[in-house]
Structure 1
């Protein structure tokens, strides 16, 4: 079965699987720590309401059959435990079939979460993790050599991720073609990191180099993934360097890390492979059948990439087996932020003592320097960035967020860095205002110590209070 096995990629598979397990662990930890306020029974977009109107065939999930906050927590923490076991290499100690079954568990659990996560889980890296995680089931363990066809399909996903992102940029905002997008992007990206201020203040010629290098990496280098070694390894390493640059420049959850994991699957590490018997016939049949299915389904993302009306981050099936990816087809020139405030005054007025809620990651206090959170995903902070772009993005959940703040809801407050009100003294009114934010200059930073300068734009939500005798669900 020499045609089926890629023995030289033994170490590649080991590194890939352990890195993927680490990403799974972060994803499940994010879900376990945030779900109650976001999609729990009293969350902003409750799962029970969602499954009432969306049938199983459109959103396959364990939670279609049963939902409780306790059951969701069990699923999320089970995902953490299985991911940690895979990270420790438990699959290598099991028979082949059992190792495959173990890899299937986090995929099925995370699919169940994503398919009921609604707006909070509408990010491209959710589908990317599921697509990659499904293929990982068929990579095998120490009993067999890595299958050639699965390694090829992993490169095919990486090609679509990078090339699709390159195409959406060239077809989208004119600043990508003029090489000027990074004059703005480091400042206006969803969640800046601790080095974003310095990236933004790089000389403009270096910003042009950044964009040009990005175009080369996304539009030319992906084709080299299918070249003979060591060219494919060199191409994958270039992609890894690019992704690490993005890791340094901002907080993009685990998007960069899952892309790095994918790139590792194309790297051939210098090591002598151990001698293993031929793969059992049942394994060969299963791998080839699944590979044929995925190759057949792959025409849809290809058609999307070739279309002039290319779309980003869309799944073509409810199991997220094949998807289309892309990011930042357009780049904002101005950064807006929604600042949420509360007051204890019975009747708000011009002199009311409005106190600001502090979020963990999104900009707030101009003097507070951005922190590094990625690969951990602060879902509320990301959606607040979209809310600042347009209130339409927040129609389904922002009103409920305000209600929960007026109740001093414990789970909701856990999503924030700090509430200005004691637990037993909720605010009487909450309001939201829109500000324009910009990075300060070197001189302003030295004189004020503030990395941001903000300017009031308009009212986003007028002072609001609870109108009923008790909390509304």
Structure 2
């Protein structure tokens, strides 16, 4: 079936299936390490409370039947094991129904986590992972040629991801239109990495060039994903290079990595063989009729769902990172429509002094990824996602829902060990403090001269008090 088979995209299939599976593996490991503390039986936003308020049909999840931390861990460990097998390419050695079933199981398991994850799972890359996992399920196995319609739908997903992000920026803040956005972004992004300080101090002409390059990569290049080869391969390579720069300069979980993986859907084997000098692969076997029918039905279903994100791309009020159905399939994407020009950080402190007015008694809790101690170099965590640290960035911007933060302060007063393990440093190892508070600071990167003089990566000044000193009811300790 020449019209159905995309025989020149075997490398693309391998990268798409194994790369998406690798992102699922990271997502499930993140759930194992963080979900019980954030959303579990004693979590900051317990799942059981959520499922009492939201019905299954509104947010489908296995946990509407029953939730326990043990059940979560069984589901997440099972998902991690299955994802690891797909990364190794083992199910792909079987008939095409097996990798299809494996990816659909991953999709269902992770959907169950995301749909009860509330604000901790409200990021666009969660929906992106779910959609990508569902789509690559229909790429088949090594026994058959990759289906052309699925390869093209992967490009349509990449197009929405890149072009949608580009439109969000052009329609957003003036800083994207006057090319000054990158004067600030490296310093004010949610979680800078070790390279961010150095890039921030590059000349302004370089940052203006970064913005121009971004506009070209997101507003022009996506249309060439559907051009004849080798133009489509060149477009895919440009996406890979630009996303690689974002990997180098920031911590955006697996967003940039999965975008790189999707870009391989535009790169054909002929281009790869030309560059690497490889021999042509052996021809695939005959595609079974049942597989053709299932793939065409799934693609037709996804195309119907594409109407809503397509309309959104040209809407006056374009939605960013929006799902139009409860299964997070065929979504709208985009980020950083505006760039914050100042960086505010919430610093959580505790005191064991009898008098909370004694400033010498206050010691800061250190988070793993977000800035705190000015002398600490920013770290690299992506593609792993530190969910608590990311929400602390939104908290400093003035997010409305602060229930999770109120519970975090309560857990610190209780000396909850599971919560403390989410942090980098606990200044009260022998017992919880009497009081906790939260102050807001204005942070900026130190200048090269300041860093040479002090060794500090950040300079900060206090803005005010977010939460005044609080203690457990009655002033007792847990």
Tell whether the structures are fold-level matches, with TM greater than 0.5.
yes
The yes-or-no answer on 1:196 pairing with 2:204 is no
Deviation at 1:431, TM superposition (A): 0.2
1:179-230 alpha-carbon deviations (Å, 9 max, x no partner)? 0000011000000000000111010000000000000000000000000111
- Give me the whole-angstrom Cα distance separating, in 1, the residues matched to 2:81 and 2:156: 30
Counterpart of 1:13 in structure 2 is 13
Deviation at 1:65, TM superposition (A): 0.9
Deviation at 1:274, TM superposition (A): 2.1
1:380-404 alpha-carbon deviations (Å, 9 max, x no partner)? 0000000000052x42211000000
Deviation at 1:415, TM superposition (A): 1.0
1:10-32 alpha-carbon deviations (Å, 9 max, x no partner)? 12111221111111111111111
Counterpart of 2:464 in structure 1 is 458
Contact 2:319–2:332 (Cα < 8 Å) also in 1: yes
- Give me the whole-angstrom Cα distance separating, in 1, the residues matched to 2:240 and 2:97: 32
Change over 3 Å in CA distance of 1:41–1:470 after alignment to 2: farther
- Give me the whole-angstrom Cα distance separating, in 2, the residues matched to 1:121 and 1:470: 34
Alignment of 1:235-314 (within 5 A): 235-269=235-269, 270=273, 272-314=280-322
Runs of 4+ in 1 over 3 A off after TM superposition: 468-472
| Structure 1 unaligned blocks of 5 or more | none
- Give me the whole-angstrom Cα distance separating, in 1, the residues matched to 2:44 and 2:386: 15
Counterpart of 2:276 in structure 1 is none
Deviation at 1:275, TM superposition (A): 2.3
Counterpart of 2:370 in structure 1 is 362
| Structure 2 unaligned blocks of 5 or more | 274-278
- Give me the whole-angstrom Cα distance separating, in 1, the residues matched to 2:284 and 2:60: 38
- Give me the whole-angstrom Cα distance separating, in 2, the residues matched to 1:93 and 1:280: 16
Secondary structure of 2:191's counterpart equals coil
Change over 3 Å in CA distance of 1:469–1:420 after alignment to 2: closer
Secondary structure of 2:440's counterpart equals strand
Counterpart of 1:211 in structure 2 is 211
1:330 is matched with which residue: 331, 338, 344? Answer: 338
1:355-374 alpha-carbon deviations (Å, 9 max, x no partner)? 00000000000000001000
Counterpart of 2:452 in structure 1 is 446
**TM-score normalized with structure 2 length:** 0.96
1:372 is matched with which residue: 369, 380, 391? Answer: 380
Contact 1:12–1:264 (Cα < 8 Å) also in 2: yes
Deviation at 1:294, TM superposition (A): 0.7
Counterpart of 1:320 in structure 2 is 328
Counterpart of 1:123 in structure 2 is 123
Change over 3 Å in CA distance of 1:17–1:193 after alignment to 2: same
Contact 1:192–1:250 (Cα < 8 Å) also in 2: yes
Contact 1:253–1:373 (Cα < 8 Å) also in 2: yes
Contact 2:4–2:147 (Cα < 8 Å) also in 1: yes
Counterpart of 1:410 in structure 2 is 417
- Give me the whole-angstrom Cα distance separating, in 2, the residues matched to 1:197 and 1:258: 25
RMSD: 1.3
Counterpart of 2:71 in structure 1 is 71
- Give me the whole-angstrom Cα distance separating, in 2, the residues matched to 1:470 and 1:83: 46
Q: How many residues align?
A: 470
1:402-460 alpha-carbon deviations (Å, 9 max, x no partner)? 000111111111111011011x4111100000000000111001000001000000001
Counterpart of 1:31 in structure 2 is 31
Secondary structure of 1:52's counterpart equals helix
- Give me the whole-angstrom Cα distance separating, in 1, the residues matched to 2:327 and 2:127: 9
Deviation at 1:151, TM superposition (A): 0.4
- Give me the whole-angstrom Cα distance separating, in 2, the residues matched to 1:76 and 1:351: 44
Contact 2:413–2:433 (Cα < 8 Å) also in 1: yes
Which moved further from structure 2: 331-340 or 21-30?
21-30
Counterpart of 1:223 in structure 2 is 223
Contact 1:8–1:273 (Cα < 8 Å) also in 2: no
- Give me the whole-angstrom Cα distance separating, in 2, the residues matched to 1:92 and 1:66: 33
